Amino acid sequence: MILYLLRRLAVTALILLVICAATFAIFYLMPADPAQGACGKACSPERLAGIRATLGLDRSPFAQFGDYLGGILSGRTYGTGAQAVPCPFPCLGFSFQTNRPVWEMLTARLPVSVSIAAGAAVLWLAVGVAAGVVSALRRGSLWDRAAMTAALGGVSLPVYFTALVLQYLLVVRLNVLPYPTAVPLTEDPAGWAQSMVMPWITLAMLYAGVYARVTRSEMLESLGQNYVRTARAKGLAEVTVVRRHALRPALMPIVTIFGMDLGALLGGALITESVFGLPGVGKLAADAIAGADQPVILGVTLVAACFVVLANLVVDLVYAVLDPRVRAVA
Amino acid sequence: MTVLRKLLAQRSAALALTAVALLVLTALAAPLITWLAGSSPTAFHGEAVDPALGGLPRGTAGGISAAHWLGVEPVNGRDVLARVVYGARVSLLIAVLATALSVTLGTALGLLAGFLGGWTDTVIGRLMDLLLSFPSLIFMIALISAAPGADRRLLLVVVLGFFGWPYVGRIVRGQAMVLARGEFVAAARVLGASRRTLLLREVLPNLTGPVLVVATMSIPACIATEAGLSFLGVGVQPPTPSWGQMIATAVPWYAADPAYFLIPGALLFVTVLAFNVLGDAVRDTLDPRSRPR
């Protein structure tokens, strides 16, 4: 188990390094000069050269990449002397447009993204899995057909469309919710929930459909297995058969997609946050893209990739704990 | 053609197929439709909007009238019908080409990985794992914004295809692995067939079913992603219309002129839904393991 863990950690680190290099390469290929962006409109050639030197843009791409990696691991300082700009560990770059380290900007936005992702995840997991189980048990019934039609509809809904419809209906027409604003959970739990309800529903409609479909087909598969027939034949209560023998194996693929989906969402629900104007990591990315603030885009990409890769790692570990065969194969 | 007949026998699939056919027809006949409606996707109609209300369309439901069947855009008064119809062209073309690219790449690489095994499989398999763990939306945005001068439509096709192939490759690889151990392959090998013949003549034809299923599933995913990217401002650039871009420009107007986001949004929803229903039906028809409901 320890060996397996170590090997998986090494692979994870390697993947992150490759992602980091790929992202960096894309930005290196960018025709837009980051120094030009940081310099602003009234920009003299001397000042531009100064900024290039401060950012280390006059060095070779490999040296720059080395600087970047070094910054992540131990922090770095841009420039020297009186103009030195410190960027403490873990330095994901420095946004000269906002004059703040990227890490600081990211961590300030993270609570909003986590609130959106966590709430939506609870909602879609509960609704999706429950609907899928009931559908599988009452296969072909009216409920099954209605639930699966709704699931297909949910899967096909573009999030920005759902978001706009919800906002139009609930805020403008029915006036039952306020415009979403970022309210910290610790200050005003009710206000927090109120502002998060629409993003939660928006995302949950999409994902619950996926989960209901997967749960249903996995449940149907496991319900057809011989061990379920055995469990029934030896006289176990139907509830026990469904919960212990049919649902448990059906949940394994759910764990996989749940890890990936949650990981992706923690890195910012780009579109949802943009539509509702909630200042999460996704909105930060969208704004940085609009303003061509490259250090921020690079940082967000890296952190988002980190979440996905780490979620995959956690999923693999959960698998290894649940199923010893995985350890043996790996 | 038996697949088509089986599909048409199912009511939902037949409906979805009709919707898709109508959509393709609309996209193809875009110039004809706009000519009939007497509109153009790029012409401004200042008289159709009310400057006193900040450029809100005159009349009800976003300015629906005899001259503008689906209303006009706020501020510049471009005809919504014309833009929606031309937008269908752009969205479909990008999705189909991107799917073609990802299916070609995914089938070729998945086939090689699954059939040859060994280090080929290791390299291609790891590459797929890597691409699947990328935050692809942010990455696509980064890539597209890294090339401001390029033709966005071409770039979208390349980027969508590139990030889409591992999904195809994963499925093809698994199937090819099973097929490679099949008796018919062993028989052909004994008869002296070359590796090339084995790959192209024996294994590839057996992959048609799964590939057709992933291709049908990939088109709605590409349409939705393209619309999402256009929505975020890194997709199709104005004045070329796209549904996602139309919804994005409708965001500031959603309260005053809801028809403006409802029309392209509903069309996008129906299109993606139709493709998804069709994909499900194709899978149920071709895969004997998944029984039709």
Show the domains of chain A with their CATH numbers. 33-91 (no CATH), 106-329 (1.10.3720.10)
Whether the Cβ atoms of residue A180 and residue A276 lie closer than 8 Å to each other:
yes
pLDDT confidence tier of residue A29, bands split at 50, 70 and 90: low
Q: Return the residue of B nearest to A264 by Cα.
A: B135
pTM of the model: 0.80
SS3 B79: strand
For B57, the enclosing helix (H) or strand (E) is strand B56-57
Q: Which H helix or E strand runs over B265?
A: helix B259-286
First to last CA, chain A: 10
Which residues on chain A are in Cβ contact (under 8 Å) with B20?
none
Q: Which residues of B touch A155 (CB under 8 A)?
A: 276
CB contact under 8 A, A267 and B135: yes
Q: Is A304 on the interface with B (CB under 8 A)?
A: yes
Span B95-147, pLDDT tens digits: 899 999 999 999 999 988 888 878 888 888 888 887 877 777 777 877 777 77
Size of interface A-B (CB pairs under 8 A): 123
> For residues A245 and A277, is the Cβ–Cβ distance under 8 A?
no
Check CB contact of A160 with chain B, cutoff 8 Å.
yes
Q: Torsions phi, psi of A100, nearest 5?
A: -135, 150
Mean pLDDT score across all residues of chain A: 79
Query: B135 and A304: CB-CB below 8 Å?
Result: yes
**CA-based nearest distance A4→chain B, Å:** 17
Given CA atoms A26, A32, A34, A38 in this order, what sign does their dihedral have? negative
* Residues 247-276 in B contacting A (C-alpha not used; CB under 8 Å): 247-248, 250-251, 254-255, 258, 261-262, 265-266, 268-269, 272-273, 276
Q: Rounded to a whole number, what is the distance in Å from the CA of A169 to chain B's nearest CA?
A: 9
Inform me whether the C-beta atom of residue B280 falls under 8 Å from chain A C-beta atoms: yes
ipTM higher than the 0.95 cut:
no
- Average pLDDT rounded to a whole number, residues B253-276: 82
A106 touches chain B (CB under 8 A): no
How does pLDDT run across A223-268, given as a tens digit for each residue? 888 888 888 888 888 888 887 777 887 788 888 888 888 877 876 6
pLDDT at residue B67, as a whole number: 60
**Per-residue pLDDT tens for A42-73?**
677 777 777 777 766 767 777 777 777 777 77
Q: Is B138 in contact with A304 (Cβ distance < 8 A)?
A: yes
DSSP conformational letter for A193: H
